[in-house]
Structure 1
Amino acid sequence: MKCSVVRSSLKDYTYIYLAEEQDFDDLPSALKNTFGTPEAVLELDLHPDRKLAYEDVNEVMKNLAEQGYHLQMPPQEDETGLLDLPAK
């Protein structure tokens, strides 16, 4: 399953995976307004064995098939500090 990934211009560490046939302009208005201008990051070919850094590939593929996009929010803070993100 081919998709593209765009980064939010307004929210750090927030990304949208778009199904190959999905256009950012077709997303719900509320999502587009809070996301800001999309910045292209990469193109991916997803399959069940593919590893993603913060997302479950099967959940991403399910959302792409059902709604045409998948929203990736910033990782939650963890007490171990292993997932802490660099300060911007």
Structure 2
Amino acid sequence: MHCTIYKSLKKADLYLFLPKGILPDTLDATILTPFGRLEEVMHLDLSVDRALARTDAATVRHYLSTLGFYVQMPPGSQNWAHWDNLKAGIPRPADL
């Protein structure tokens, strides 16, 4: 699965992952409001062996498939709970 990553120009370290070919303006305004203006950062192949800095590719693929987007929060936010669980050896839910 390929995705496009956008960064918020309003809040540091806030990123939006979308399936490749889907534009941010197709999302509900409620989702986009915290981001302010977005800047496209990169395209990424979310293959099984792809390492990501703050989560794993399976989690991002899951949310892209079910919700149509994935939000990576700044350090110290809720998304870190999942990453901390993985580092502590607590497995992610079976459906991810």
Q: TM-score range by the shorter chain?
A: 0.7 to 0.9
How far has the Cα of 1:46 moved from its partner?
A: 0.7
Q: In the alignment, is the contact (CA less than 8 A) between 2:20 and 2:43 conserved in 1?
A: no
TM-score (norm 2): 0.74
State the percentage of identical aligned residues.
35
* More moved, 20-29 vs 6-15: 20-29
Task: Look up the match of 1:62.
Answer: 62
How far has the Cα of 1:51 moved from its partner?
A: 0.2
How far has the Cα of 1:76 moved from its partner?
A: 1.4
Higher helix share: 2
Task: Look up the match of 1:4.
Answer: 4
TM-score (norm 1): 0.81
Q: Deviations over 1:41-77 (max 9, x none)?
A: 1000111110001122111000111121100001218
Q: Structure 1 stretches (4+) deviating beyond 3 angstroms?
A: none
User: 2: distance between equivalents of 1:63 and 1:47?
Assistant: 14
Task: Look up the match of 1:20.
Answer: 20
Q: Does 1:71 align with 2:71?
A: yes
Asked which structure has the greater RCO (Cα within 8 Å, sep 6+), the reply is 1
Structure 2 counterpart SS, 1:50? coil
RMSD over aligned Cα, in angstroms? 1.3
User: Which residue identity lines up with residue 62 of structure 1 in the other structure?
Assistant: H
The unaligned stretches of length 5 or more in structure 2 are 78-96
